[in-house]
Amino acid sequence: MPKNRQRNNKLEPAAEASDNANLADDADINDQHVVLNAIASLKQDLVAKIEEKAIAQSAELQIQTTQIRTELRSVVEQVNKRIEVTEGRVSELEAEVSNHSDSITCMTSDVTGMKKELATLRDRCEDLEARSRRCNIRIIGVKEGREHGKHPSQFVADMLKVSLGLDKPPTLDRAHHALRSRATQDGLHRRLLL
Burial 143-152 (b: 16+ CB within 10 A, else e): eeeebeeeeb
Cα distances (angstroms) measured from residue 171 to each of 38, 150, 160: 138, 15, 11
Q: Is the pLDDT of residue 99 over 80?
A: yes
Give all strands of the β-sheet with 138-139 in edge-to-edge order. Answer: 138-139, 192-193, 176-177
Q: Is the pLDDT of residue 62 over 90?
A: yes
Window from 44-48, 65-69, 138-142, 177-181 with minimum mean pLDDT: 177-181
Q: Per residue in 145-187, pLDDT tens?
A: 777 778 888 888 888 898 889 899 888 877 877 766 666 665 5
The pLDDT assigned to 1 comes to 47
The pLDDT assigned to 96 comes to 93
Q: What is the pTM of this model?
A: 0.37
Distance (Å, whole) CA 123 – CA 113? 15
Q: Is the pLDDT of residue 63 over 90?
A: yes
